Structure formats: structure tokens, C-alpha cells
């Protein structure tokens, strides 16, 4: 990436965060609705803290007299830092009224000023790497900001809307679900080349894959309702033991954000309460629900490497955050005729895989995030492909998203697979 391109990217990503926050009332920045979520102002402060801590204040970057030597707001370290960076967090992030939103934006502006000054000059290679990681890190928080807000608003009896979705919902009846066959053999997986990738996508290595089939599109709300109507949530034998327990503990009877209305369901969206669209992909299901659905369909979830080898040849294109719909859309009409491969691999919803999140052979934690990507390699499952809340430039075929199997508040959905 050239220095000009880096400057551009920095401005663009930082501006996108601010634009995502624009529809919020001050009150919306302050609270969160569960420990897994963070208040919006924390996302804004934390992504700035990143650049201050790992770039501006990094040893040797700005020298003795630089910003790094005299922290912008020393007390923000405890508030916006994380334990992986050695920060001890003793407060409840969801119960902090200060710093105010204005103060957080002011902090953000000062970090941006210092960063802009830095990026004007000659930037050493290792510093550029840190900036690039910081931008990916911020994009990740853009998606989480929206998922956290959606959860927050969904719990409010007033059912507030974040904003009207732009554009018109596309698509009518979904194309029929087919299975697309893939040959087995040795496949190279993991990040190739020198473009940006997290350490957990490396090293690129070979996997032996048996012939398999992949669903031609995502599972729809309509298909998921069939599962529900045939007793899917009450049939113990369809569920993993931990899933059965999570279902009971959470009182699950439908995907998160489905609200029973008369005989049917409405769906809470970032545009408020909406009728459920049968043709649209089901979203806000846990791994456990995806797995039970697949078993009910006499199928299974794809392994992450099956997914990756199927996606490797496709262009990274789909309904991402920039589309502005903020909800998954029905499979495109193109899929009705002609499209030989699976559609919707990228965008719409993160696709649960059958793969536990584990290190690749020869994995070496590296960079600023090495520690934290490696430390979560227990008890989590891999998802692939990005969602309607994901910035388009954030995703690639080798990207591994990671969640606990009972997580439901992010835009997670289902593609099924079976042996070839």
C-alpha cells in the first residue's frame, strides 16, 4: 500500500465509523444490553485508543517529544484499553456516564490529528503495518457497533429504529435449494500472498478434503419456520447436548429478534419492527440452532475448509455494510438460472461452520493481535463469509470469524452441506 493509499484508507475508515454513529442520540452511546456487547462510545474510544497505544505511543514512533511521550488522555487507558494489552478493567463498561460523548469525539479528533500528521511524513514499514491492522480492527468494531445497537434497541419496549434502510428490499421467491458438488483432494487453504491477513489465517497449508456438496444458497426464514413448525426446538435428538442445554437456559423457541405476532412472526431490525420475509436468509441463529437445523435436513454444516475451497475462486462480492440494507436479502435472481456455483457465500450473513476454532499447523502468534487471536482458541466455532453489517473490504475467503456456539446477536445464519 502506498503512503497516499494508506492516508486515504485511514480517512475513509475513520469517517465510516463516524457516519455509522451519526444517527445515534447521545443516550444511545452510553448503555449496553449484555456483557458481550459494548456501548457505542466505547467502540469509538477503543478504536482510537488503539492508534494512540500501538502507533502514536509505540516506542520510537514519534520520539521523545511526540504525542506518544505525553499521552492524550492518560485516564482513558483504563477506560478504553483491554486486558490483552495489560489493562486491568475494574469497572462495568455499561455503567460509565463519563467521559461524555463529546469528550470521546474530542479524543477521537485529537488522535486523528496526530495520526494525520504522522502519515504526512515518511512512515516506517513496521508502523505502516500497525496502522493497517488498526484499520481492520476498526472495521471489525463497526460491525460490532451495529450488532450491539441492534441488541440494545431490541430490548427496548419502544422498539426504536437505528435508521431507515436505504434502497429497496430485493428479490421475491428464493431459487430452489440445490446441492453443488465439489471434488475431493488436497487443497491449499489459508491466506496466500502478502496482502493483509490476521495471523490466525496463516500459514497457508494443505488439507485433504473428501468430496462434498454445498447448499447453493443460504437457508431462508421460510425454511427455518418449517423446522420450527415440525417441532425442531422440541426434538432432543436433533441437538448437541450443549445446544439442548443452551436452548433450555435461554428459552429459545425461534431465532433471536423474532417476535411472535398472532400466528406469525415479526422481526426486529435496525429499521425497527418489520414483517418477517420468508424469502430472506434466516439470521441471528446460534451454531447450535444451525447444527440442529442441518441435522433435521439430513445434512450437516460445512467444515471451514470446505467452505474456503468453494469460495476461493469467487470474487469477494455480496451484500455488505455499504449496501445500506443492514438485513440479509433473498438470493439473487441470477441464482435461478445459470449460476453454477453457490451464491451468497460473501455478505448477507456469517455462515456457521462445523469447525472448532483451532490454530493452523505451524501457527505462530504475531503482530499486535497475535496474542488475542491465539488466546481465544478454545470453546469457539469458526464462521465464514461476512454479513450485511460487515464492511466490504474487511472480508476475504480465508477470513475466520469466531464466536461461541451459543452466540446469536451478530448477523449469523446457515448454509448446509453434505458428503459428496
Residue 137 Cβ vs its own copies, minimum distance, rounded to whole Å: 17
Question: Which of 2, 22, 59, 98 is the binder for its own copies (CB under 8 A)?
Answer: 98
- Check if the beta carbon of residue 50 is closer than 8 Å to that of residue 77: no
Choose between 4 and 249: whose C-beta lies nearer to its own copies. Answer: 249
Residue 309 Cβ vs its own copies, minimum distance, rounded to whole Å: 13
> Does the protein bind its own copies through residue 156 (CB under 8 A)?
yes
- Check if the beta carbon of residue 381 is closer than 8 Å to that of residue 352: yes
* Half-sphere exposure of residue 256: CA atoms within 13 angstroms, side-chain side: 25
Lay out the sheet containing 258-261: strands in order across. 258-261, 264-269, 272-275
Residue 94 Cβ vs its own copies, minimum distance, rounded to whole Å: 7
Question: Which of 90, 168, 315, 337 is the binder for its own copies (CB under 8 A)?
Answer: 90
Task: Report H helices in 22-100.
Answer: 40-51, 76-80
Of 58-66, 126-134, 313-321, 358-366, the window that binds its own copies (rule: CB under 8 A) is 358-366
Helix (H, G, I), strand (E, B) or coil at 404: coil
Burial of 90 (0-12, 13-18, 19+ CB in 10 A): exposed
Among positions 368-397, residues that touch its own copies (CB under 8 A) are 371, 375-379
Choose between 192 and 240: whose C-beta lies nearer to its own copies. Answer: 240
Distance separating the N- and C-terminal Cα atoms of the chain = 41
Question: Which of 44, 311, 354, 407 is the binder for its own copies (CB under 8 A)?
Answer: 354
Of 49-57, 123-131, 339-347, 356-364, the window that binds its own copies (rule: CB under 8 A) is 356-364
Question: Which of 7, 14, 32, 144 is the binder for its own copies (CB under 8 A)?
Answer: 32
Question: Which of 13, 20, 21, 28 is the binder for its own copies (CB under 8 A)?
Answer: 28
Among positions 221-260, residues that touch its own copies (CB under 8 A) are 236-237, 239-244
Question: Which of 58, 205, 233, 314 is the binder for its own copies (CB under 8 A)?
Answer: 205
Distance CA 76, CA 115 (A): 18
> Does the protein bind its own copies through residue 362 (CB under 8 A)?
yes
Question: Which of 62, 152, 299, 411 is the binder for its own copies (CB under 8 A)?
Answer: 152
Question: Which of 1, 85, 96, 228 is the binder for its own copies (CB under 8 A)?
Answer: 96
Residues 6+ away with beta carbon under 8 Å from 406? 242, 243, 246, 250, 286, 287, 288
User: How far from 137 is each of 122, 190, 332, 367, CA to CA, in Å?
Assistant: 23, 19, 30, 12
Among positions 308-337, residues that touch its own copies (CB under 8 A) are none
Choose between 271 and 377: whose C-beta lies nearer to its own copies. Answer: 377
Give the total of residues touching its own copies (CB under 8 A): 63
Task: Select from 280, 372, 364 the least CA-distant residue to 328.
Answer: 280
- The 3-state secondary structure of 253-282 reads CCCCCEEEECCEEEEEECCEEEECCCCCEC
Q: What is the DSSP string of 84-120?
A: GGT----S-GGG---S-HHHHHHHHHHHHHHHHHHHH
Residues that bind its own copies (CB under 8 A): 25-33, 75, 78-79, 83, 90-92, 94-101, 152-153, 155-158, 160, 186, 205-208, 210, 236-237, 239-244, 287-288, 303, 354-356, 358-359, 361-362, 371, 375-379, 405, 419
Amino acid at each position: 500500500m502506498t503512503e497516499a493509499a494508506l492516508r486515504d484508507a485511514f480517512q475513509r475508515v475513520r469517517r465510516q465509523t463516524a457516519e455509522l454513529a451519526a444517527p445515534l442520540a447521545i443516550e444511545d452511546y452510553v448503555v449496553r444490553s449484555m456483557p458481550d456487547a459494548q456501548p457505542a462510545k466505547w467502540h469509538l474510544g477503543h478504536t482510537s485508543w488503539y492508534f494512540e497505544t500501538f502507533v502514536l505511543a509505540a516506542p520510537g514512533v514519534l520520539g521523545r517529544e511526540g504525542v506518544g511521550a505525553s499521552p492524550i488522555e492518560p485516564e482513558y487507558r483504563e477506560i478504553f484499553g483491554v486486558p490483552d494489552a495489560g489493562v486491568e478493567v475494574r469497572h462495568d463498561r455499561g455503567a460509565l456516564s463519563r467521559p461524555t460523548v463529546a469528550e470521546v469525539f474530542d479524543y477521537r479528533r485529537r488522535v486523528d490529528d496526530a495520526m494525520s500528521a504522522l502519515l504526512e511524513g515518511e512512515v516506517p514499514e513496521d508502523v505502516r503495518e500497525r496502522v493497517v491492522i488498526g484499520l481492520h480492527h476498526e472495521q471489525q468494531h463497526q460491525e460490532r457497533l451495529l450488532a450491539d445497537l441492534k441488541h440494545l434497541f431490541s430490548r427496548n419496549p419502544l422498539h426504536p429504529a437505528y435508521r431507515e434502510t436505504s434502497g429497496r428490499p430485493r428479490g421475491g421467491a428464493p431459487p430452489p435449494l440445490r446441492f453443488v458438488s465439489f471434488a475431493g483432494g488436497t487443497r491449499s487453504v489459508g491466506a496466500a500472498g502478502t496482502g493483509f491477513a490476521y495471523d490466525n489465517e496463516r500459514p497457508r497449508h494443505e488439507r485433504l478434503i473428501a468430496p462434498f456438496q454445498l447448499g447453493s444458497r443460504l437457508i431462508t426464514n421460510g425454511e427455518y419456520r418449517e423446522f420450527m413448525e415440525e417441532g425442531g426446538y422440541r426434538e432432543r435428538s436433533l441437538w448437541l447436548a450443549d445446544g439442548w442445554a443452551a436452548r433450555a437456559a435461554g428459552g429459545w423457541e425461534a431465532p433471536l429478534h423474532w417476535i411472535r405476532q398472532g400466528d406469525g412472526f415479526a422481526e426486529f431490525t435496525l429499521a425497527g419492527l418489520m414483517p418477517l420475509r420468508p424469502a430472506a436468509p434466516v439470521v441471528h441463529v446460534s451454531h447450535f440452532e444451525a447444527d440442529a437445523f442441518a441435522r433435521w435436513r439430513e445434512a450437516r454444516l460445512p467444515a471451514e475448509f470446505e467452505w474456503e475451497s468453494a469460495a476461493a475462486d469467487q470474487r469477494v462480492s455480496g451484500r455488505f455494510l455499504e449496501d445500506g440494507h443492514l438485513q440479509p436479502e433473498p438470493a439473487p435472481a441470477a441464482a435461478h438460472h445459470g449460476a453454477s456455483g453457490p451464491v451468497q457465500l460473501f455478505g448477507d450473513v456469517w455462515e456457521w461452520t462445523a469447525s472448532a476454532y483451532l490454530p493452523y499447523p505451524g501457527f505462530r502468534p504475531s503482530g499486535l493481535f497475535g496474542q488475542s487471536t491465539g488466546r481465544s482458541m478454545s470453546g469457539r466455532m469458526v464462521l465464514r463469509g461476512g454479513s450485511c453489517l460487515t464492511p466490504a473490504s474487511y472480508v476475504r475467503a480465508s477470513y475466520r470469524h469466531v464466536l461461541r456456539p451459543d452466540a446469536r446477536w451478530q448477523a449469523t445464519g446457515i448454509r448446509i452441506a453434505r458428503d459428496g
